Structure 1
C-alpha cells in the first residue's frame, strides 16, 4: 500500500501542473512567491519546503491553506468541484472511461484518484498499482424452526474474515492496456479458495468509445454487478444478482467482448467460457460456452437528477463437460445457489438447487434507478431458466427461478451520489469534509455518512408441490429466501469506509421429499473495514 500512497502524491502533483488556474497564486507549484524565492537560496530551506508541500498533498491540502488550522473554524468556503458525471473535459480513452477526476478545490487540495477496477481505461500513460482491501466480522443468529419445543437456541456465532485483498497491476502503451489482478483474500484468514486470480486481460481502446477485452475478466452484466464492491450500499449483492451473474459471467470469467459507453448509453456483449479454477476439482473435457449482453441508458439526467434503465441477459450454450460423468445424470451440470447476503455472517449456502443435469440455461431481466442529489433508489427483477438433461423416462420439466430487490440510499451529510459513465452504474460519494487528525486534534469535518436499506427475494423452487417428492414432479426444492437489511457507513476520507450492517433473513425450504421444513430465520450483525486506494 505504500507504493499506492506514493503514486497518489504523484497523481496530485501531476494534476496541479495541469489545473493551476484553480489555485490562488501563492499555491501554484510552477512559481514561488517572493518569500519562497528568498528561502530557495538556502538548500536546507528549499528541501524543507518541498517536504512540507508533499506531506500536505498527501493529507489532501496545501501548506498555504491548511497550516496552523484546526477544527472547522477558519476554513475557506468550499467551492463546487466539477461534476463527476461530466466527461466533456476528458480526451481520448478517458472520455469513455468512468469517473472523471475532480479539479482541485480551493482550500481542499487535490485528492487524486485511482481506477475503481483494473479495466478502467483512463490514460495514465504509465504502469500503476491499485489496492483494495476489506476484512469482515461478526455474526449472531438463531434457527427458524426447532425439531422439539425444548430445543435450545444456538449460541451467537462470531467470525472474522479477510474477504478480499486485490492489487491491480496495470501497464499501458498507446491504446493497449494489460491488467493482472491477484486476489489474496479468502476465508477463513490464510485459507484461500482456489481462485487466486481476479482478472488478467488485454484491452484495446483504439476505436472510441469502444473497448475490446480478451482474457479473464468480470463481464459487464447487470447494473449491480457493474458497480465496484466498494460502492455497494450494503455489504453484498442481492442473491438474484449474485446467482444470475455466475451463470455465464461473474468474477474471473474467460471472456472475449466489447463495450461502448457515453454519457447517455452503455452497451456490452461478450462470449464467455469457464471461470478461472474450473479445472481444479475435475478435468473438464469441454469448457462451458456462453454469452452475455447488457444495454443501459440514462433517458434523463442533469446536475441533480439521474434516471437509469438497464436490461441484461445471459445464455449458456452448454455447461462444462465432464466425460467421466454419466449423460443425463452428471456429465453437464449447473448449480444455482447463494449464501445469505452477508459473507461475514454465514459461509453456508442455505438456498441451493444442488447439481442439476442441464443442457443449457438463460438469465434475463432488468433494473431501474433514480437518483436526486444525495438520494438513490434502485431495484431489479431477473428470471433464470434451466433446460434439464436427464435419462430417458425421467421427468425433466423446464425449470424457472426468479428474484428481485429494492434498495435505497441516503447520504446523510449531503454528498451527491456519483454516476460512473464508463460502467453505467452509481458510485460512492466523494467526501466533502474529510476527517483528519493532526497534532492530536481534529483538523476538519466528520467525513461522509451514508444510510442504506434493502429488501430482496430469491425463489429457487420450481415445479414442486409440498408433500410430494421432487423426484416425482421432476422439479427442485431449492428454497425461498427473503432478506431485510440496513447498513450505516462512515467514510472518514475517500479511501476508507467503516460499515455496520444489520440483516434479518427468512428462508422457507423443504427437504427433497417435500415433507420436512429445513429453513431458518436469523439476524446477523456485521462490521466491515474497507480500504480502497
Structure 2
C-alpha cells in the first residue's frame, strides 16, 4: 500500500530531471549555432575582402598590361628567328634585318686527261642587311667573304614599292634570266647549277622593274657592268634583259610553271666575248669546255625557255638556252645547252614556289628528323660553232640532300662527266664526288 502511494511522487521527480537536461542541451545547441554563425560571418567577411582584393589586383594587372603594350608600340618590334635578326619601328614604316649563309664544300676528282685537283673550299660566306625605309622603299646590301679570299659586294640595291604590284629597283642585282639563276643558292637542288648557267648574265648594275599577279610574274631592266665581273660573261657594254613566268596550276602540292627569258647585250671597248664553264663543281678552276676569246663581237643575244612541275613530293625542272654571238667581220656564232632534273622528297615535303618571283623557296621539313631528298640531273652544252671549237660536254648527276631543319642542309653529289671532245679536241670522262655543309640564317 505504501509503495503504491509513493510511486506518483517518484515519477514526478524523473520528469523534472528530463526537462532540466533538455533545457541544458537546447541551450548548448543554441550556443554552438551562435558560434557557427559567427564563424560563417567571419568566413564571409574574408571572402568578400578577398574578392575585393582580387578585383584590385585584376585592375592593376590590366593597367600594367596596357603600359607594357604601350611601351611595345612605342619601341617597335625586335625578333630573332630562323630567318635572322629583325627590328621594326612601331609604325612598320622602317625595318632592318640581318642574315647570312655559309657553304663549305669538299670535292674528290677521278681525273682523266685534265688534272682538276681535289680539295675543300669555303664556297660562300655572306652576310646581308635589308629592310624598309618610309614604308614604300626597300634596300639590301650583301657582302661576300669567300670569293678567292677577297671581300666584296654582291647584291646592293634600293627599290621603290609604292606602285604595287610594280617594283622599281636600282643598283647591283641579278638580271632577270633563267629559273635556275634566279633561284637562290640556298634553295637549288644540287650543289652547283647546271652547265648552261654559264650563259646567264647574273649580277650587273642597272635599273629594273617587276610586277606579278596571282599566277604570273614579269621583270625587265637595263644593265651595264658589275661591281665584280663574272668571268663567263662579256666584261663591258650594256644590255636589256627580261623574263616572264606563268603558273596556270598552283597550289601547295601541285605546280605547273613555264617561263621565257631574253637578253640583248652590246659590247663595249675590246669587242670581245668568252664562254666557258666548270664541270658543275667549283673547287676546281679547270674548264673542260672553253671558247677562249672571241674577237670582233658586235653584240650577243640570249634566249631561254624553262618549265617546272610539282606533284606532291615529286618535282621536275628543265631549261634550254641559246646564245647568239654577232661578229663584225665573220659569221655569227651559235651556242646552246639544256638540262632536265627531277627530285623526290622521301619524307613527303614539296618544293615551295614563290609566284611573285617565279622561283622556288626554302624547304621546311615536316618532321623532327628533317627532310630527305633524292635527285638526278642530265645537262649538256655545245660550244662548237663555225670556226670556234670550245668543246661539248654532258653530265649526269645524282644527289642526296638532308635538310636537318629550315636552316641547315647537307648535300652529296656524284657526277659522271663526258667531254666529247673537250676544249682541246680530246675526249675525256672524269667523275666527281662532292659534299657540302650549308647554314643559312
- Structure 2 length-normalised TM: 0.76
**Matches of 1:510 and 1:138 in 2, distance apart?**
21
The answer to whether 1:351 aligns with 2:321 is no
Superposed counterparts of 1:468-507, under 5 Å? 475-507=387-419
CA shift digits 1:273-303 (9 cap, x unpaired): 11213599xxx9x941111000101012234
Shift in CA distance, 143/214, structure 1 to aligned 2, threshold 3 Å: same
* Contact 1:369-1:378 at 8 Å conserved across structures: yes
Superposed counterparts of 1:7-406, under 5 Å? 112-113=82-83, 125-143=94-112, 157-173=117-133, 174-187=135-148, 191-192=149-150, 196-240=152-196, 242-246=197-201, 250-251=202-203, 253-278=204-229, 287-316=236-265, 318-321=266-269, 331-344=270-283, 346-357=284-295, 358-390=297-329, 396-406=330-340
Shift in CA distance, 334/416, structure 1 to aligned 2, threshold 3 Å: same
Q: How far apart are 1:422 and its partner, in Å?
A: 2.6
- Structure 1 residues without counterparts, runs of 5 or longer: 1-33, 42-109, 116-122, 146-153, 322-330, 391-395, 434-444, 464-474
CA shift digits 1:362-384 (9 cap, x unpaired): 01020111101111001111110
**Matches of 1:223 and 1:476 in 2, distance apart?**
28
The DSSP-based 3-state class of the residue aligned with 1:225 is helix
Shift in CA distance, 265/334, structure 1 to aligned 2, threshold 3 Å: same
* Contact 1:141-1:157 at 8 Å conserved across structures: no
* Contact 2:422-2:428 at 8 Å conserved across structures: no
- Structure 1 length-normalised TM: 0.63
CA shift digits 1:153-193 (9 cap, x unpaired): x7x94211111111111142111112111100124xxx33x
Q: 1:460 matched to which residue of 2? A: 383
- Structure 2 residues without counterparts, runs of 5 or longer: 1-53, 62-79, 86-91
* Contact 1:161-1:186 at 8 Å conserved across structures: no
Shift in CA distance, 235/510, structure 1 to aligned 2, threshold 3 Å: closer
Provide runs of 4+ in structure 1 moved above 4 Å.
none
CA shift digits 1:312-371 (9 cap, x unpaired): 00111x2231xxxxxxxxx21111111111113x22122111111211000102011110
Structure number with greater Rg is: 2
* Contact 2:391-2:425 at 8 Å conserved across structures: no
Shift in CA distance, 361/452, structure 1 to aligned 2, threshold 3 Å: same
**Higher helix share goes to which structure?**
2
* Contact 2:378-2:396 at 8 Å conserved across structures: yes
**Matches of 2:248 and 2:414 in 1, distance apart?**
35
Q: How far apart are 1:124 and its partner, in Å?
A: 8.3
**Higher strand share goes to which structure?**
2
The DSSP-based 3-state class of the residue aligned with 1:224 is helix
* Contact 1:313-1:362 at 8 Å conserved across structures: yes
Shift in CA distance, 236/412, structure 1 to aligned 2, threshold 3 Å: same
**Matches of 1:114 and 1:265 in 2, distance apart?**
29
**Matches of 1:458 and 1:124 in 2, distance apart?**
47
* Contact 1:383-1:401 at 8 Å conserved across structures: yes
**Matches of 1:114 and 1:311 in 2, distance apart?**
33
